Every structure is written in C-alpha cells, then in structure tokens.
Amino acid sequence: MSKRIIIDTDPGHDDAFALLMALASSDELDVRAITTVAGNVPIDKTTYNALRLRELVGSDVPVYRGCARPMVNELVTAEYVHGETGLDGPHLPEPSRDVGPGHAVDYLIDELLGAPRAATTVCLIGPMTNMAMALVKEPRISAHIAEFVIMGGSFKEGGNVTPTAEFNVYVDPHAAHVVLASGVPITIMPLDVTHQAQATPERASAFRSLGDPVGSVVSAMLDFASRFDIAQYGFVGYPLHDPTVIAYLLEPDMFEFRDAHVSVVTDVGSTHGQTVADWYGQTGHEPNARVAMRLDADRFFALVTDRLGRH
Ligand code: RIB
Ligand code: CA
C-alpha cells in the first residue's frame, strides 16, 4: 500500500528534484497535495514554480498556496542561490491549471482530519510556516500525522545562512519550534547529511543522459544552482538537500540515524535559528527526533537518477 504524503515546499532547485522524484514514485508514494510556502523566493514565485513543475510531468496532484511570510520574522529569501524566479536555468512549461481553492493551512487541517489517525506523512522541505500555523489553528491534527520528515537544521556542519543556522529553520525558527514541540514523530535531514549528497560532475552526467524533457530540465537546474555552492563552500557539486527526504521515504536504510532532543534558538542574536541536538540526554528531555547523520551517496544518486528517469 502506498504511503500517504503531503509535500510542503518552497521551490527552489532542490525542491524541484524532490517533487519530480516523488511524482515518479506512485507505487510507493500517494502524494495527496503540494503546499507552497514563502522561502527561497516569495510565495507567488514558489507557487508558480510548483505549478510549472506539475505541468512538466503532467501530474494532477493539487497545489495549494500557503503562507507569504514567517510567523514572526520578516521574510528572508535566497535569490542569490536560486535566481530571481526561484528556478532560474531550465525552460519550464506554463501552468495549464491553477492552485486549488483556499489556503494551504486550511487544506492541511482538512486533509489531515479527513484521514485516519497517524495516516499521513508530512514532508517539510521549506520554512515550516504552513505546518506550524495549522498546528496552532487546529492542534488535533497532530494525532493524524504519522511522521514529519524535515529537511532542515544543522548540527556539526555549521549553517548555510549564518555560521550557525540552516536556511529553512533560519527563515522561520518559531515555526520550527512549534513543529519540534508537536509530539509528532520526526525524522530530520540536516545539512550534516545533505552536504554528503553533492551532485558531482559524474553524477550530473547521469542526469544529462535522461530522456527529455526531464533530463534537460534537471541538467539546466544543476548548472545554475551549482554556481553558488561551489563558489561559496568549495563543494564539488550542488547538494541535493530536499531529495534526501524523498529518498528516506523510499529507501530509509541508505541513512544512518541518531536520536536526540532537538530544539531551536529563537532568541535574537548570533545563534538565531540554530538547531541544538541533545545527543546525550544532558537537558533531561526525551529525544523528539531521529537525525540522519550519514547516507550512502552512491545509492542516493542511483535512486534519484532512477526516479527522475521514470518520467
Ligand atoms: O538549507 C537548504 C534548504 O533551504 C533547502 O530546502 C533549500 O531548498 C532551501 O529551502
Ligand atoms: Ca526547499
């Protein structure tokens, strides 16, 4: 039986890889909807990008437009990585269908309450504003969520926005706090593991050999998105952050995990948005998350290539 999932996203190049992987995995994943949030670029653009990606692969999965700004902080975006459109590089088709009715927060509440208890896995691959607002508006939904699978945070790797904070958590640390405190089972893909998933030239060449239109789209996305990370961090390729969430759903045993109580710094200051893992129980708090700290990168890229090639 396929796993019932919702993908909350701010496309974004790596989000695009994750969405294309998930939409090609219908035997294993029942994608109920895509909900968009402001993050890499403002909400109008993340939503437009989600609609264009859906059009690219002819999917009928509904898209719902979400929050335009974080719960407390002003919106911080990442055009310096993803370009003005949020998906600079590839040519993508214009959407033939629009977003679904209503706000993504209300969709999340209705969809989760309308499903059996613990029946739905929620994938959070952007700032967690929509999910946090839904939990605040209707706390009963937590009993209907099987697991949060989050791309976010960083522990031993340092930050990618500040020296201590990863982008998704930095943009909306208050939302991350609400999600981490929800009591829902949580699996986290932090920068510690996503930085092990760099699209080297050899791995990128496997994407180029995929049939069009997806092959040329993902190659153009990589060509564009790799620039910043290679220049900034000296990486050998663009790290595919968000696809690690989908890979976990499909082949969890390619990862190694550690349990920890994870919290987030919401105080204003140099550690704003930092995620803190209590690996050894020093705080007296029980673990609230399973944190992926290692992955089999060759197995990961074989899976990404296989799934993208199915379109
Ligand atoms: O820090 C990486 C995360 O921030 C990814 O989800 C990327 O898409 C951006 O949203
Ligand atoms: Ca993202």
Give the neighbor-by-neighbor strand order of the sheet with 145-151: 63-65, 29-36, 3-9, 120-124, 145-151, 186-189, 289-295, 255-264, 275-278
What distance in angstroms lies between residue 16's CA and the mean position of ligand 2's atoms? 8
3-class DSSP assignment, residue 284: coil
What distance in angstroms lies between residue 188's CA and the mean position of ligand 2's atoms? 14
Q: Each residue's pLDDT tens digit in the chain (311 positions)?
A: 899 999 999 999 999 999 999 999 999 999 999 999 999 999 999 999 999 999 999 999 999 999 999 999 999 999 999 999 999 999 999 999 999 999 999 999 999 999 999 999 999 999 999 999 999 999 999 999 999 999 999 999 999 999 999 999 999 999 999 999 999 999 999 999 999 999 999 999 999 999 889 999 999 999 999 999 999 999 999 999 999 999 999 999 999 999 999 999 999 999 999 999 999 999 999 999 999 999 999 999 999 999 999 99
For residue 168 and ligand 1, the question of a CB distance below 6 A is answered with yes
For residue 166 and ligand 1, the question of a CB distance below 6 A is answered with yes
pLDDT in the model for residue 44? 98
Average pLDDT, the chain: 97
pLDDT in the model for residue 116? 97
Residue nearest ligand 1's atom 10 by CA: 126
Which of 7, 9, 10 to probe ligand 1 with, by most ligand atoms within 8 A of CB? 10
**Interatomic CA distance for residues 135 and 142, integer angstroms:** 7
How many Cα atoms sit within 13 Å of 167 on the Cβ side?
24
For residue 165 and ligand 1, the question of a CB distance below 6 A is answered with no
C-alpha of 170 from chain center: 14
In sequence order, the 6+-apart residues with CB closer than 8 A to the CB of 199 are: 207, 222, 226, 237, 238, 239, 240, 301
For residue 39 and ligand 1, the question of a CB distance below 6 A is answered with yes
For residue 8 and ligand 1, the question of a CB distance below 6 A is answered with no
Among the atoms of ligand 1, which is closest to the Cα of residue 10?
10
8 in Cβ contact with 125 (< 8 Å): yes
| Nearest ligand by distance to the CA of 241 | 1
pLDDT in the model for residue 55? 98
**Interatomic CA distance for residues 58 and 63, integer angstroms:** 13
Instruction: Determine the topology of domain 3-198+239-308 in CATH.
Output: Inosine-uridine Nucleoside N-ribohydrolase; Chain A (3.90.245)
Q: What is the pLDDT of residues 82-100, one digit of tens each?
A: 999 999 999 999 999 999 9
Among the atoms of ligand 1, which is closest to the Cα of residue 161?
1
| Nearest ligand by distance to the CA of 81 | 1
- Classify the phi-psi angles of 83: left when phi > 0, otherwise alpha if psi is within -120 to 50, otherwise beta: left
Among the atoms of ligand 1, which is closest to the Cα of residue 242?
6
For residue 242 and ligand 1, the question of a CB distance below 6 A is answered with yes
Residues with a known catalytic role: 241
Could you tell me how many residues make up the chain?
A: 311
What distance in angstroms lies between residue 203's CA and the mean position of ligand 1's atoms? 20
**Interatomic CA distance for residues 13 and 26, integer angstroms:** 22
* CA atoms 8, 207, 307, 188: torsion sign: negative
pLDDT in the model for residue 212? 86
Which of 14, 170, 191, 198 to probe ligand 1 with, by most ligand atoms within 8 A of CB? 14
pTM of the model as a whole: 0.98
For residue 82 and ligand 1, the question of a CB distance below 6 A is answered with no
What distance in angstroms lies between residue 116's CA and the mean position of ligand 1's atoms? 30
Q: Domains of the chain: which residue ranges?
A: 3-198+239-308
* CA atoms 209, 255, 221, 44: torsion sign: positive
